[in-house]
Amino acid sequence: MIKQTIAVAAPISSDWHFPNMPTRLAQVGTPEGETTPQADVLVAEPEVAKPPMYAVVMYNDNYTPMEFVVYILQSEFRHSTDSAVEIMLTIHNSSKGIAGIYPKDIAETKAKKVNSLAHREGYPLLTQIEPHQGE
């Protein structure tokens, strides 16, 4: 005959990873009714701050064609034709305009990409990033 052995499970103790897990108050070796004190710990939700935003600013020059600026605004910043033309006219009339607002690493990447594309095409278009205080 084969003997069957029954495994005795160790008592479950509370764990801060599982705050809703029931705990067994009676433990092996303690008299009935006597319990060890347990502290309740409240776990707060972590506060996540929004990253600082940066504006990708394009500056006007007398050599870069308006069509190229509109093309850049549509292809790199995903503006519609109407909004790209409006931003291009703002750049032309005010000598600078905001192409988009992004977290710092994305803004830097877009500015570098636009500058290299303009340089490759032979245009002196300048794009930089500036801290943006907005919503």
Exposed e or buried b per residue across 95-129, where buried means at least 16 C-beta atoms within 10 angstroms of its C-beta: ebbebbbbeeebbeebbeebbebbeeeebebbbbb
- In whole angstroms, what is the distance from residue 47 CA to residue 25 CA? 34
- Tell me how far CA of residue 53 lies from CA of 45, 56, 100, 130, in angstroms: 24, 10, 10, 9
Average pLDDT for runs of 10 along the chain of length 135: 54 57 53 64 86 96 96 97 97 97 97 98 97 81
Tokens of residue 133, six digits: 């205080």
CA dihedral 72, 125, 93, 84 (to 10 degrees): 0
Reading the block at residue 74, the tokens are: 């549509």
Backbone angles phi, psi at 27, to 5 degrees: -120, 160
Give the pLDDT of residue 97.
97
* Res 40: pLDDT: 77
Q: What pTM was estimated for this model as a whole?
A: 0.65
